[in-house]
A = this chain, B = another copy of it.
Amino acid sequence: MSGTPRLVEVRKNILKQNDELARGLRRRFAEAGVFVVSLVSSPGTGKTALLEKLLGVMAERHRVAALVGDLATENDAARLARSGAPVRQIVTGTVCHLDASMVERALEGWDVGALDFLFVENVGNLVCPSSYDLGENLRMVLLSVTEGEDKPLKYPTIMRTSDIAVLTKMDLAAAVEFDCETMRRNIGEMPVFETSAKTGAGVRELAEFILSRR
């Protein structure tokens, strides 16, 4: 389409502005001593379910909070608030990803210095969030065993911008004949955690890893 070159140029400016805002956020988080972890995945991979468990485990000894993004509904914030941790919902409308300005606005009036860990759950999307730095210290991409072992190959940009991979719904691995070896080979060189929010398997190991990275 003839409009594409102009769109690319405008998009570059948007991304540049986002990068600047994200750098500012990262500085602010460092000064406040809060470690920020973002979660990206397809819709329905289980970001909220895993985060619910993680917040539960980590809140035992640390001050944790979460921001959660969705196009519509505040259901996820309500679910996560059951953990007792402070939670804020970001409703993006039709926007397919979080950006640094949304995170900044959502933090208004919050004393991030009172936190040890802040989790940021992105909109369910394996493509668009990859371009937007949110100022996080660690980005984890979640892949469920029900999605198939080929997803890391088909969504390479999100894999490249993530620091660790978390396999979810491991309790369903046998039912879907999940081939863990192929999945790990397709993921390549990054730490991989096998978890189940249903049984709780792997959640403490993941929490220990996050604690060790602060």
Contacts and interface: CB of A to CB of B under 8 A. Distances in A.
Interface stretch (A12-20, A25-33, A112-120, A199-207): A12-20
Q: Report how many copies the assembly holds.
A: 2
A96 interface: yes
Q: Which of A2, A4, A123, A124 has the most CB of B within 10 A?
A: A124
Nearest to A174: B175
A43 interface: yes
A155 to B, nearest CB: 6
A75 B150 CA distance: 9
A81 to B, nearest CB: 16
Interface residues of A, number: 48
Nearest to A100: B1
A46 to B, nearest CB: 8
Nearest to A14: B3
A155 B2 CA distance: 30
A154 B73 contact: yes
A10 interface: yes
Interface in A146-160: 146-148, 150-151, 153-157
A20 to B, nearest CB: 10
Contacts of A10: 3, 6-7, 10
Contact of A14 (B7, B44, B72): B7
